[in-house]
């Protein structure tokens, strides 16, 4: 598959060329394998099948997912979280702290958060409960996350003291996450583009390196609106360090610190149009 054919596929799926540019080699390989499996000889035949067969389209979406992640990716964001976000959340009494990891890949981001949280609350007499919901379009990623075994490379940004306490080395290049970090997590297959959020009143939504990187702007608008609706007032939305908040998102979020945004107060959000407009 050449770049021109790949660009046709991206345009058809409303994916962003810029987002896929660096990872296109691997994605092309998986798409070509899928084309062969379903007997499509060229890109035109494939686009035709995607247009008429929902299951083929869904499989195409899955093979095109990019699952690159690692623990504590973008260290600075995690430092801000620890210094400025957790101190407030931990003081809350009563209700649980609710966090949604949208597009969680193999769970690296979720487990990073949990490690940070467990370490942080160890210094307090009491701490609120955590409700963790992790979603991804690709069920294979969720299965990997549940197993919780990772190559050494995905731990390269993990602080040595965390590494010793929260990981067990299984083989030369394989580390298993501490089983207590895996308790009580809700893992769900979920499509950010089409599905309603997996809950509401989230204190934090991690939506890093997926929607805003891989999709065209027109696909993003509705999803951003739904994510905003799923956040508690003043809740935090965290996007990737190299991602930009699109105009459609600026209506709902204000930048708080680097790639950490906060939901705007209800009075500043646009009012729904009166019925009949
Ligand atoms: C590059 S990984 C990012 C993982 C993690 N958020 C991080 O930043 O390290 C992108 C993840 O988004 C998922 N994804 C892609 N499209 C999605 C969609 N429409 N709905 C939900 N998840 C999606 C992919 O399966 C993949 O696991």
pLDDT, tens only, 124-142: 989 999 999 999 999 999 9
Query: What's the pLDDT band for 275 if we cut at 50, 70, 90?
Result: very low
Decide if pLDDT at 162 tops 60. yes
Tell whether pTM > 0.75. Answer: yes
Decide if pLDDT at 166 tops 80. yes
| Joined tokens for residue 65 | 């997912």
Rounded Cα distance between 231 and 201, Å, is: 5
Looking up residue 185, the CATH number of its domain turns out to be: 3.40.50.150
Mean pLDDT, residues 158-165 taken together:
93
Shared domain for 56 and 125, answered yes or no, is: no
Ligand 1 pocket check for 16: Cβ under 6 Å: no
Residues 264, 252 contacting (CB under 8 angstroms): yes
Shared domain for 137 and 86, answered yes or no, is: yes
pLDDT of res. 56: 97
pLDDT of res. 200: 96
Distance 271 CA to ligand 1 centre (A): 31
Beta pairing partners, 262: 236, 254
Ligand 1 pocket check for 223: Cβ under 6 Å: no
Decide if pLDDT at 59 tops 70. yes
Mean pLDDT, residues 28-44 taken together:
97
Query: What's the pLDDT band for 273 if we cut at 50, 70, 90?
Result: very low
Distance 180 CA to ligand 1 centre (A): 24
Last residue of a domain, one of 23, 40, 63: 63
Query: What's the pLDDT band for 161 if we cut at 50, 70, 90?
Result: confident
Q: Is there a domain that residue 68 lies in?
A: no
Query: What's the pLDDT band for 272 if we cut at 50, 70, 90?
Result: very low
Shared domain for 180 and 59, answered yes or no, is: no
Distance 252 CA to ligand 1 centre (A): 22
- Ligand 1 atom closest to 195 (CA): 20
Shared domain for 130 and 41, answered yes or no, is: no
Query: What's the pLDDT band for 276 if we cut at 50, 70, 90?
Result: very low
Question: Cβ atoms within 10 A of the Cβ of 103, count?
Answer: 26
Shared domain for 58 and 83, answered yes or no, is: no
Ligand 1 pocket check for 213: Cβ under 6 Å: no
Q: Is there a domain that residue 26 lies in?
A: yes
Shared domain for 16 and 122, answered yes or no, is: no
Q: State how many domains the chain has.
A: 2
Q: Is there a domain that residue 277 lies in?
A: no
Q: Which residues contact 61 (CB under 8 A, 6 or more apart)?
A: 13, 137, 191
Taking Cα atoms as reference points, which of 74, 68, 71 lies closest to residue 25? 68
Best of 191, 194, 210 for a ligand 1 pocket test (most atoms within 8 Å of beta carbon): 210
Shared domain for 37 and 172, answered yes or no, is: no
Shared domain for 45 and 89, answered yes or no, is: no
pLDDT of res. 132: 98
Decide if pLDDT at 268 tops 70. no
Q: Is there a domain that residue 258 lies in?
A: yes
Ligand 1 pocket check for 154: Cβ under 6 Å: no
Shared domain for 169 and 202, answered yes or no, is: yes
pLDDT of res. 94: 80
Residues 232, 28 contacting (CB under 8 angstroms): no
Distance 66 CA to ligand 1 centre (A): 7
Ligand 1 pocket check for 193: Cβ under 6 Å: yes
% of the chain beyond a pLDDT of 90: 91
Q: Is there a domain that residue 213 lies in?
A: yes
Distance 145 CA to ligand 1 centre (A): 13
The region, left, alpha or beta by phi > 0 then psi within -120 to 50, assigned to residue 97 is beta
Q: Is there a domain that residue 85 lies in?
A: yes
Mean pLDDT estimate for the chain = 94
Ligand 1 pocket check for 74: Cβ under 6 Å: no
Bridge-based pairing state of the strands 185-189 and 231-238: unpaired
Last residue of a domain, one of 15, 35, 63: 63
Decide if pLDDT at 274 tops 60. no
Shared domain for 180 and 201, answered yes or no, is: yes
pLDDT of res. 93: 78
Rounded Cα distance between 14 and 81, Å, is: 33
Whether the CA torsion 30, 207, 21, 70 is positive or negative: it is negative
Shared domain for 185 and 239, answered yes or no, is: yes
Range(s) of the domain holding residue 92: 75-267
Shared domain for 227 and 113, answered yes or no, is: yes
Q: Is there a domain that residue 274 lies in?
A: no
Q: What is the 3-state secondary structure (H, E, C) of 79-102?
A: HHHHHHHHHHHHHCCCCCEEEEEE
Q: Which one is predicted more confidently, 10 or 270? A: 10
Backbone angles phi, psi at 55, to 5 degrees: -65, -40
Ligand 1 pocket check for 105: Cβ under 6 Å: yes
Last residue of a domain, one of 24, 39, 63: 63
Ligand 1 pocket check for 143: Cβ under 6 Å: no
Query: What's the pLDDT band for 104 if we cut at 50, 70, 90?
Result: very high
């Amino acid at each position: 598959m050449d770049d021109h054919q790949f660009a046709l596929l991206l345009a058809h799926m409303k994916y962003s060329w810029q987002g896929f540019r660096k990872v296109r080699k691997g994605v092309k390989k998986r798409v070509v394998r899928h084309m062969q499996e379903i007997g499509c000889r060229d890109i035109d035949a494939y686009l035709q099948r995607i247009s008429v067969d929902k299951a083929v389209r869904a499989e195409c979406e899955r093979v095109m997912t990019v699952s690159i992640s690692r623990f504590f990716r973008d260290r600075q964001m995690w430092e801000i979280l620890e210094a400025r976000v957790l101190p407030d959340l931990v003081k809350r009494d009563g209700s649980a702290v609710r966090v949604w990891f949208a597009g969680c890949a193999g769970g690296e981001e979720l487990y990073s958060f949990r490690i940070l949280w467990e370490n942080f609350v160890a210094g307090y007499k009491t701490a609120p409960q955590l409700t963790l919901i992790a979603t991804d379009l690709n069920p294979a990623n969720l299965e990997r996350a549940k197993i919780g075994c990772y190559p050494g490379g995905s731990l390269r940004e993990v602080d040595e003291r965390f590494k010793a306490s929260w990981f067990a080395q299984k083989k030369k290049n394989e580390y298993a996450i501490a089983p207590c970090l895996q308790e009580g997590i809700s893992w769900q297959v979920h499509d950010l583009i089409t599905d309603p959020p997996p809950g509401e009143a989230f204190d934090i939504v991690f939506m890093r390196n997926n929607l805003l990187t891989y999709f065209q702007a027109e696909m993003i608008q509705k999803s951003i609106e739904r994510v905003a609706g799923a956040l508690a007032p003043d809740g935090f939305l965290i996007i990737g360090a190299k991602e930009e908040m699109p105009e459609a998102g600026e209506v709902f979020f204000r930048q708080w610190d680097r790639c950490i945004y906060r939901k705007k107060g209800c009075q500043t959000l646009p009012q729904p149009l009166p019925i009949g407009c």
